[in-house]
A and B are shown apart, each in its own frame.
Chain A
């Protein structure tokens, strides 16, 4: 009974078993800091912290106090990669000499994805001609190479094998093989560059963890002594390197409880490999399948049952008996006919949501899920739900920073505060920035302010904000907005003045940090009640800071590099801002030129406010492990329900551990994984829904085109849609 492996559907109470186990361990007198809890993402930590908090309350409440040490410590709760990175940092001095660093004694600089992209861009420059038969934006090339680096590290194959793996699976034109070789060369050059300059990107961190730390005797001893009890949730979402680590823990720990969600494996683009969890399962003493009461024969109709039937229909592709389920409702237009236009679909969904809310369902229990959530969907749903006085809470998957309107506004204000950059803002930019930062300010009043600013400065380019105290302006814009403008203007003027006194201004990230803290978070400004926006700002500030810290390593400024080395690394001096030594301007330049268009790990999933309807892409819903009473599936005709993120220079399956090198990747394989992926997505959604699923689609998508994806085909086979 000591090492258990639980498998079950979402919603069957597995995580509760884990938290109960935590309580049980602590209550039985186990030292909390001897317990390791591993989770797929930070937001899952809440439940474990709460469970542990309750044990402390019982400890306090009980008459006989436990030994003091037990109360002072807490269990270690980490995300999969978080723990790995932490341990690499901790033991860096011991593993660096063998890992090939040029200066193993130096403190390593951890690069975020922006910095990694920035340098990879330079390393890759000489190779751009090697991708003749491919067409993609330059940043996509970089993103794919980073993905290859990460997969090699988390799967556990040498970078030198990268091209061979990809090539043996390929059976098309020869030119692609050439591209694979170039990718490998760039990846290797980038790795050398990092080792040379003691820079650690995500892939190198994982490489250090897998190839050096996990194999080191001292580390095994450390782990054995440190973690006596292991609790791990959602191991199907972890990469093979984490499974290796879990196997190591299972050898030495006293007890373990490992949980696998089925269907799961939604982080496949982040290296998750459900199949490789099998080794973990085999290392456990017990495997238990948690029964799902919702699927018992006498259980009432439920979304879960529908999900299971739909999964089967997707996998079998056979004609099945028609499915009738009271847990599913197909939305139709007002006159009962199928909906032709996309806008009609959004309207129908909004109407149905409104009816639900009127019948007493709290908005927070309703989720709208689509394969892709574009701005126009968010906007339209928001507008139409306004008629029902319901707000929308949109959780977006990661996107490039510069695509966030708020980020653009922060860039505008940074330019207004840094005269020496010589980058004035246009009145339109100012209008936008004001609309986005001053709460409730509409575009019209923002424009009135911007016009006044332009009149006052007398030029088309606005380089600094003047004070405005025009009575007419006050009456038109309204005193509340004028006061906020004045606050904003005053702060910027003061900062600009301080800037002027210093030879070298404060770093950009510090500027933004203060701006957010001292202006934008105050009442009347955008971030006061917008945790989402705050999250984006945090990311921007962290990104700018990391970028600065990496660039401030003196040996990385182009002027400090010897020419020969520059040539070897392909780092010709660039005529961009790094030469002016102003890292802040360099950052903004890179940001706006979209070099920093990194793919991010999903943002931590925020809690949905109870009074708002959740709008979320299907994958984000699943990785965020949301639950709802009512789910609306929009655009069910779309092919994007089953399409994976195809990229020609990387491959989540061929670069996985389960892949037998030398095998060809065929179209049948592609079809199979497409079906599996879709089945997992619909199952994963349905098992997370308790009351009812609503299906909606227009015959035409937002672009006015017809689509018919695998999901729609399966629904048609079940005669759920016509």
Chain B
């Protein structure tokens, strides 16, 4: 294995204790962790009944790390054992699974994935709106036109669900039950009465959030369901409830290596802290400048930074990166330096990015040298339409001209990404037979492919006499490259299928006549395809009396051979089992519709990064996705769109995205969150005014957006094309200050 000097230092010098590794984008974090795990084993530091525990952020990283550790072990001439790779959730699941009684669940507990999770949250919010309709409506201003009123109501409903989601998420990370949150609210109101001078009025949004949290929790509890945060919380409970249990796991895993530590939430950190208490051997690798999950996961870059500052923690750098061209490295470093040294908000200077982790290009003898050529450009367009069209055209030209290179358009929001997709669709229509782009906005392609095939399979099972459904199923299978081989454009097979008698084709009786209309001659290849297909789907039809999750598992075993696809199918299956338990009257047709929603991106299935779903950029195709989802990936050319003051603000007193026009500029979810944090943690002094809390929250938002920009910039290997629109959302607009300053741009 070829390691750089910095990597080698870590691998050879570490023998125990707490270590923080400050890494930069493209510096080989995973490779270092894998090599370290192998070396710990090689040095005999891990007993026969013990394992090195590696914790990564995503499922696909698990496979990646495993493969690398195996390689490293083979290089060292060692047996392929003695390590365990988990995501934090699968680790928590393993802990709970071992002692459900300690965790406070029964042996048959169920984990809610994000799909059923968001559905349950939406239902809880709807329940609240229904229960408290008048109160809820009272938030809307009077004197609206009917049209405005309709818009306001629908947005307020969305925002209500968002309040619920964010309050729930934060409360769980603060380990506050719904009852605790209620007590916090009530307690504070009581003290407010007694000491009117130090009053922190409880935001009505927090009350709404608390009510939705309570409802959501009740529903999950009654179903014996755990969402991802509950699962981690349950693992912490189990570890806290029995010291012997915690010590035993400590002995089983005498070394803990953690990847992506900057995205660790307080709950996640607590699990690893408990597990390492026995031996103190905990290596955390992270890049605080890439902490962009805070809004989604309640993680906070503060935690990793605090860890680095602890007196018992050794810090080592991992700052050499061969990913980007030197010019792009220089730009990224300038962004860090400008932010830490010159950002107009002092608090942002201190918090947003850290100059400890500046990127260094590789030395000449490095196995992975930086690309030599670079192109960086900032382009201004007159308006959004122009930006969308021009960016799409430019990217399309690039992949047509250079089919062996990779390219991505990264949008700050799904909405903007969607518009790019529409533009690309139009371009693609002019290039029949070519696939110019991949829409990776909401659900990653692999998830959608699996869902699409399963949807068609389940739909056909729900109406087995409908041969059009079988034709659709066949097309979906061929397109996804699974099932019997066939040519999707062979209209003859389609026509044959449509005219066949399904009962004779699929379930021939002993005396059956041919399923096909008289006078039709089949070519041999067609015949083979037809009857293979018939045998396969007849099997599924026989399985269609099974419970829906078991049916989907059965279908998946026949169709998919990739681990990731099987895992996706399984998680779809269990999600649909929960759907059926909530809707006991639902039929297979409803299940197929649910799968369609996922396949067609109408329903979000996994919010994580693309890399989580096992996505890898394809040459000659444009990946369209959000900056958030691009994490961990790289492309030869990257377009960063809408890099403006709306998406990347610098001034905490200016208006923000998220503020609701119908609520007089309030940002209800943010307010609820900030207040809850203040009430629960005493993070902010109680007498501090509400306005200060909001100001603080806005500063954090500014900081996170700067890190997102940093992530976007460091996705590009050679070409970085940044753009914005001069006029957007009916007002004048400029490029983000940070990018203007670092590029010394003048309009």
Contacts and interface: CB of A to CB of B under 8 A. Distances in A.
Contact of B465 (A380, A447, A644): A447
Interface string B231-274: 00010010011101101100000000000000000000000000
A383 B551 CA distance: 13
Contact of B241 (A137, A172, A346, A478): A172
A220 B55 CA distance: 64
A428 B587 contact: yes
A64 interface: no
Interface in A390-447: 403, 405, 426, 428-429, 432, 435-436, 442-445, 447
Interface string B543-569: 111110010011001100101101101
Highest count of chain B CB atoms <10 Å: which of A444, A448, A651: A444
Contacts of B222: 137-138
A288 interface: no
Interface in B508-559: 509, 538-539, 541-547, 550, 553-554, 557-558
B506 interface: yes
B502 interface: yes
Judged by DSSP, the binding face of B is helix
Interface in B208-242: 220-226, 230, 234, 237, 240-242
Contacts of A429: 587
A315 B137 CA distance: 66
Interface string B568-605: 01100000000000001101110000000000000000
Contacts of B223: 137
Contact of B48 (A137, A319, A435, A445): A319
Nearest to A668: B244
A639 B95 CA distance: 12
Contacts of B98: 639, 643
Given A135-B234, A705-B90, A383 B224 contact: no
Contacts of A341: 557, 561, 566
A383 to B, nearest CB: 6
B107 A702 contact: no
Nearest to A674: B98
A413 to B, nearest CB: 15
Interface string A626-649: 000000000000010001111110
A197 interface: no
Contact of B106 (A136, A447, A704): A136
B177 interface: yes
B105 A448 contact: no
B241 A451 contact: no
Contacts of A176: 104, 241
B328 to A, nearest CB: 37
A135 B226 contact: yes
Contact of A137 (B224, B462, B507, B558): B224
Q: Report, as a range, how many residues of chain B touch the other chain.
A: 35 or more
Most buried by A among B465, B539, B544: B465
Interface in B173-224: 177, 179, 220-224
Contacts of B465: 444, 447-448, 451
Interface string B461-472: 111110000000
Contacts of B100: 646-648
Indicate the member of A135, A375, A651, A670 with the most B CB atoms within 10 Å: A135
Nearest to A386: B539
Contact of B563 (A648, A651, A700): A700
A135 B241 contact: no
Contacts of B398: none
A646 B543 CA distance: 31
Contacts of B225: 135
A565 interface: no
Contacts of B226: 135
Contacts of B589: 428
Nearest to A375: B550
A376 B503 contact: no
Most buried by A among B106, B554, B557, B564: B106
A134 interface: yes
Contact of A444 (B48, B241, B541): B541
B542 A443 contact: yes
B50 to A, nearest CB: 12
A448 B503 contact: yes
Interface footprint category on A: 35 or more
A667 B109 contact: no
Interface string B667-678: 000000000000
Contact of B503 (A137, A342, A442): A442
B106 A173 contact: no
B65 interface: no
A167 B561 CA distance: 49
Given A134-B104, A442-B503, A445-B507, A704 B570 contact: yes
A223 to B, nearest CB: 39
Contacts of B48: 319
B84 to A, nearest CB: 8
A140 interface: yes
Contact of B541 (A374, A443, A647): A443
B237 A173 contact: yes
Nearest to A433: B545
A421 to B, nearest CB: 15
B105 A405 contact: no
Contact of B463 (A136, A447, A592, A670): A447
Interface in A443-491: 443-445, 447-448, 451, 476-478
A515 to B, nearest CB: 19
B237 A133 contact: yes
A375 B541 contact: no
A704 B177 contact: no
A444 B104 contact: no
B102 interface: yes
B566 A700 contact: yes
A696 B547 CA distance: 26
B334 interface: no
Contacts of B570: 702-704
Nearest to A382: B542
- Most chain-B CB neighbours within 10 Å: which of A432, A451, A703? A703
B419 interface: no
A666 interface: yes
Nearest to B463: A447
A189 interface: no
Given A135-B225, A444-B464, A700-B566, A172 B587 contact: no
Nearest to B100: A646
A704 B242 contact: no
B106 A647 contact: yes
Contacts of A705: 90, 567
A134 B220 CA distance: 11
Contact of A704 (B501, B567, B584): B567
Contact of B544 (A173, A443, A648): A443
A647 B507 CA distance: 45
Nearest to B85: A706
A335 interface: no
Contacts of A171: 241-242
Interface of A: 132-138, 140, 144, 171-173, 176, 317, 319, 341-343, 346, 374-376, 379-380, 383, 403, 405, 426, 428-429, 432, 435-436, 442-445, 447-448, 451, 476-478, 592-593, 639, 643-648, 651, 666-668, 670-671, 700, 702-705
30 contacts: A133-B237, A134-B104, A135-B104, A135-B225, A135-B234, A136-B221, A136-B224, A172-B102, A319-B48, A341-B557, A343-B558, A374-B550, A374-B553, A376-B557, A379-B546, A380-B554, A383-B539, A429-B587, A435-B545, A442-B507, A443-B464, A443-B542, A444-B506, A445-B507, A643-B98, A645-B107, A666-B244, A702-B557, A704-B567, A705-B567
Given A135-B226, A442-B538, 6 more contacts: A135-B220, A135-B230, A428-B588, A444-B506, A445-B507, A478-B509
Question: Which A-B residue pairs are the 9 nearest by beta carbons?
Answer: A172-B241, A667-B244, A704-B566, A442-B507, A137-B224, A704-B567, A375-B550, A646-B100, A667-B245
